[in-house]
Each structure stands twice: as structure tokens, then as C-alpha cells.
Structure 1
Amino acid sequence: MQIQEQTRYSDADLAEFRGIIDVKLNEARKQLDFYLQQLAEQTNSEDGKVRGLDDGTSTMVNEDIHNLANRQRKLVQHLEHALLRIENKVYGICRVTGTLIPKERLRIVPHTTMSIDAKQQQ
């Protein structure tokens, strides 16, 4: 008897991953909203405005928050794309090798599109 290799995750597996991604996506959106609120408060407050060349601290803090917000935006986007892959039933398939990414990896990094082997080869 020949064992057929699994080419995609079952609908039950995809539902599990959707739940994980939904939780992470909600957390990521809340964090992004927090960063955007911090940026808005800095922009609107007198203390947040640059007073001169001698005060680079506020500029550095502003840049750090911008960088954090941009990272969070990318995470939100990656998680949203993962949800689309679930809808299309192609979630969990390595884009390099075409094989299934192990469930353990997907539970830790649910937006990944590559197996560890493929990632290490790059």
C-alpha cells in the first residue's frame, strides 16, 4: 500500500490556524493603534515638537516609534495575507519547496511562507 503525501492542510487544521492568526492579528492591530496614538500625541504636544538642534531626544524617540509602527504595520499585513492563504486553502505550503511547513513552525510563526530548510538556504 502506497502512502499518499499530504499536499495541503485539512479544513480543521486551517480553522485552528485561523484562530491563532485572528488572536495575533488583534494583538498586532492594538499595538499598531497604540504606536499611532503615541505619534499623534507627540505631534500635538508642545513637548513633542523639536525645539532646536540641541534637543535630539524627541526626534530619536519619534523615529523609534515610527520604526515600531512600521514593523507592526508589516506584521498586520503578513497576518492578513496568511488569512487569505487560508481562504484559498494554500496556507502552510512552503513557497520555495512546495511541501507542507510543519505545524509547530506555523503555530509559532503563523505568517511564515517558508519551511526552516528553505529559509536556511537563502
Structure 2
Amino acid sequence: MEEKGKKRYSRYSMKERKEFRKIILEKLKKAKKDLLILQNSFSNNQNNGTDDTCPTFKAFEEGSETLSKEQNAQIMDHLQKFIKSLNSALIRVENKDYGICRITKKLIPKGRLMAVPHTTLSIEGKELVEKK
């Protein structure tokens, strides 16, 4: 189907899917590395050297540590969801249905997929979902 001289594709080519796969794998590698760093810091039980400092400072450190652990737990949860989304995107690449909006069923623009390779929604699809 042609629209004003532009050919519309229902799927991305194998070459394009390989390009997306590379981007997804790079993001996946970084996300797994970041998650591992957080998991190690989260489970790190090393003493911060506050044993010989005043009790007020130690209480402050413990409160700060608790807050940091809560923040790290939230970040870890976000990273785990991100990794799951990236793995799902890899499956879509292999199934040849990568880049198809799950709402509009149209091809998601390449620029959007380059920026957010795990997305399943075009901007149009996202706006439709947000209106509901």
C-alpha cells in the first residue's frame, strides 16, 4: 500500500530487526550489570566505620541507610521489570512481530523504537490507552 510516495510495511525487515536486536541486547547487558551492582550493594553488610563515632551520628547513618535501601529496592524492582520488558522485546524480534503497536496494529516508527526499544505502543496507541 502506498501513501504519498511512501511504501508502508507491515513488519520491519530482517536487517532492521537485527539492528533493533543489537540495541536491545546492549540495553539488556547494561541493565543486568546495574542490577547486579545494586543487588551487591543492597546485600552489603560491611561496617561503615561508625562504631567509634557519637551515637547521634550513628542513628543518622542508620536512618540514611534504611532510606537508601528502600530507594535501592525500588530501583531494583524497576530494573527487573525493564529487563523483563527487554527480554519480551527480544522474543518479539525473533517472532517477527517486533515494532507493531499492540493497540493500532500499525508499525511503530523506527525513531521511537531506537529510543524505547522495549515499547509495544506507538505514540498514537499510547494516547489511546491514556484516554481510557
TM-score (norm: length of structure 2): 0.80
The answer to whether structure 1 residue 99 and structure 2 residue 106 are counterparts is: yes
Q: Structure 1: which 5+ residue stretches go unaligned?
A: none
* Aligned position for 2:54: none
Superposed structure 1 runs of 4+ greater than 4 Å apart: 52-55
State the number of aligned residues.
116
The answer to whether structure 1 residue 76 and structure 2 residue 83 are counterparts is: yes
* Aligned position for 2:46: 45
Q: CA deviation at 1:45?
A: 2.8
SS at match of 1:16: helix
Question: Which residue of 106, 110, 120 corresponds with 2:117?
Answer: 110
Q: Which amino acid aligns with 1:78?
A: S
Deviation track 1:23-57 (CA, whole Å, cap 9, x = no partner) reads: 1110111000011011010xx2345xxxx987422
Q: Structure 2: which 5+ residue stretches go unaligned?
A: 49-57
Q: Which of these two proteins has the greater Rg computed from alpha carbons?
A: 2
- The RMSD of aligned alpha carbons is 2.0
* Aligned position for 1:119: 126
Q: Which amino acid aligns with 2:112?
A: R
Q: CA deviation at 1:107?
A: 0.1
* Aligned position for 1:22: 25
